Amino acid sequence: MYLYEVMKAVQLIEVDKDLENREVPKPEVKGDEVLVKIKAAGICHSDVHYRDGVGSVDKLPITLGHEIAGEVEEVGPNVTRFKKGDRVCVNYMITCGKCHFCAKGSEQFCEKGNMIGKNVDGGYAEYISIPSRGVYKLPDSVSFEHAAVMMCSTATSMHALKKTRFQPGETLAIFGFGGLGVSAFQLAKAFGARDIYAIDIDPDKLKSAKEMGAIPINAKDVDPVEKIMELTNGVGVDVALELVGLPLTLDQGTRVLARFGRLGLVGITRDPWEVDSYEAICREKEIIGCSDHLLSELPMILDLADQGKLDLSNVVTKEVPLEADPINEVYHQLKKFKADFRTVIKP
Ligand SMILES: [Zn+2]
Ligand SMILES: [Zn+2]
């Protein structure tokens, strides 16, 4: 007999070990919190890093998962914006709303920020309770599965395009056409991009890039910088997004920029690369770090999805139940880099 209600969760018990099925207390709802019955939780590459100890979690055991959508089950006494049954999605940072960074709308640097599924228990569970500040209503047209994934990769791409001040009529080079790249492409299209170059070495990804309307460039066959310079009559691109995290693509992204061009750094690496400062000065190039996303960017993403301008049906391609075995199998595939699809857990 339990003295509290329990729920199912799939947890990381020990770093470098498979996740396990657990029964944990069902979260309580206090003050300004919303209890969400989770309908979809995305499995992200960073979850695999946490499991492997590459990125560290704050506690063990922990319920991983930061890409969450579901239905409101219960609201705390101070919540007026939501009611039971509302379809919602969840920002992956729990932020205070009061500190210096929150006050200026840069919540990703909140002094008291906690990341769901890293600092606190996350979405591989039946329920989660979170402050209503980070909860958004989901348009009826957007599925739980797509919304969950949008909370991470699409939000990251949106922030990168905002940080690099991408304008209608500009050209864009996307280095790495995986899930992030596809989101960046669709968003840039919605923002009125002129030409979008998709650089990758995977023929399948390049094929889908071409089908979507991007200009595919296989970096195995040609030097992407030479190719883009040729296609732009030596001008280069206004914005390049580096989504891979390799010195090689960082170098290419820097060299391919036009005058006033901006390079957005998104792919994570600590490896340095060389910058020709003469070129950077003479062309007034900018190199811009892009970290996470802002709360204010989420409603824009949901609007664009509602308008049909964001379509994740090619990105979210697999669903698994809330069970340790199939989730561990997805981790194994992600680790081998075999899987560039997104898998969503459906509790
Ligand atoms: Zn993620
Ligand atoms: Zn804050």
Tokens of 170: 């500009």
Ligand nearest to the CA of 64: 1
Q: How far apart are CA 67 and CA 195, in angstroms?
A: 31
- In percent, the amount of the chain with pLDDT more than 90 equals 89
How many Å lie between the centroid of ligand 2 and the Cα of residue 105?
Answer: 9
Contact call for residues 266 and 160 (beta carbons, < 8 A): yes
What's the rounded mean pLDDT across residues 71-93?
Answer: 97
How many Å lie between the centroid of ligand 1 and the Cα of residue 234?
Answer: 37
How far, in Å, are 113, 191, 195, 344 from residue 169 at the CA level?
36, 9, 8, 35
Give, for 189, the enclosing helix (H) or strand (E). Answer: helix 179-190
179-214 pLDDT per residue, tens: 889 999 999 999 999 999 999 999 999 999 999 999
Tokens of 213: 């309307």
How many Å lie between the centroid of ligand 1 and the Cα of residue 241?
Answer: 18
Distance of CA 211 to the CA centre of its chain: 23
Q: How far apart are CA 160 and CA 281, in angstroms?
A: 22
Ligand nearest to the CA of 111: 2
Helix (H, G, I), strand (E, B) or coil at 170: coil
48-80 pLDDT per residue, tens: 999 998 888 999 999 999 999 999 999 999 999
Q: How far apart are CA 193 and CA 176, in angstroms?
A: 18
How many Å lie between the centroid of ligand 2 and the Cα of residue 307?
Answer: 31
Helix (H, G, I), strand (E, B) or coil at 151: helix
Q: In this structure, how many other beta carbons lie within 10 angstroms of the beta carbon of residue 61? A: 16
Question: Is residue 333's pLDDT more than 90?
Answer: no
pLDDT at 1: 52
How many Å lie between the centroid of ligand 1 and the Cα of residue 305?
Answer: 18
The whole-chain average pLDDT of the chain stands at 94
Q: How far apart are CA 160 and CA 172, in angstroms?
A: 12
Which is nearest to 197 in space by CA: 183, 209, 179? Answer: 209
Question: Is residue 300's pLDDT more than 80?
Answer: yes
